[in-house]
Structure 1
């Protein structure tokens, strides 16, 4: 019997509890570290989506401004440049709103409060409606542009035939 207990502690309730406490502490430490990693990663992704939205919207506004100014300065007074600028800006606003919806979803993923979830639903609804209206305006503008292009090509064809 002396040989069995030599170098080993006898199994008592305290020797069984201590390793369990260490295991629980290590699991808690791992879970808290993982939760911190998820929160930081979520904040980084949310900020990245918001920055992308800002960049896309800003570049669309600049592109539309360049289109309008170029057409205003170098072409006769027509609404074509204005329409093309509006389309360029509409496309960028639509894409920017999509990035902002993604950022809102990421931001709310961490929160489990009902008021945050309700706020997300309202934000997504408003942005989706805006995106839908922008898409409708773009498609309407494209439909209006197609008959003009067909009319212009028929006019040039008729002029070529009459000569």
Structure 2
């Protein structure tokens, strides 16, 4: 029974990682499309700041999903090496998310 629980948890972790990758891929495509609209100056194209804010917000969500996937993967293999690696990854992703949120807030304030 424990082995089944571990396998389910690992599979869920992989699904969450794939979901985060898909979210980032879609965000890149949308940002690129909007950027090209901006370059071609089609009717009311989104501003570069709004493109950055939308893309950054999406990346922040994906980072949180990836952190959750790492927590799930580590939960079934709680060796000290895995816990140390999770701690390092958590610190890096949290720092990335913090600075990304800070930059997004500055952009939003600048646009308003």
TM-score when scaled to structure 1?
A: 0.64
Residues 97-118 of structure 1 deviation map (CA, whole Å, 9 limit, x = unaligned): 0010000000000112111101
Give structure 2 stretches of 5+ with no counterpart: none
The Cα of 1:83 is off from its aligned counterpart by 1.6
Q: Residue 103 in 1 paired to residue 69 in 2?
A: yes
The answer to whether the 8 A contact 2:49-2:111 is kept is: no
Residues 90-137 of structure 1 deviation map (CA, whole Å, 9 limit, x = unaligned): 011101100100000000001121111011001000000000111111
Runs (4 or more) in structure 1 with deviation over 6 Å come to none
Residues 6-42 of structure 1 deviation map (CA, whole Å, 9 limit, x = unaligned): xxxxxxxxxxxxxxxxxxxxxxxxxxxx112111111
The answer to whether the 8 A contact 1:64-1:84 is kept is: no
Look up the match of 1:58. 25
Look up the match of 2:14. 47
Give structure 1 stretches of 5+ with no counterpart: 1-33, 147-163
Look up the match of 2:95. 129
CA distance in 1, matches of 2:32, 2:47: 10
TM-score when scaled to structure 2?
A: 0.91
CA distance in 2, matches of 1:88, 1:62: 12
Look up the match of 1:91. 57
Q: How does 1:1-163 map to 2 (within 5 A)?
A: 34-74=1-41, 81-146=47-112
The one of the two structures with greater contact order (alpha-carbon pairs below 8 A, sep at least 6) is 2
Q: CA RMSD in A?
A: 1.2
Query: Aligned pair count?
Result: 109
CA distance in 1, matches of 2:88, 2:75: 15
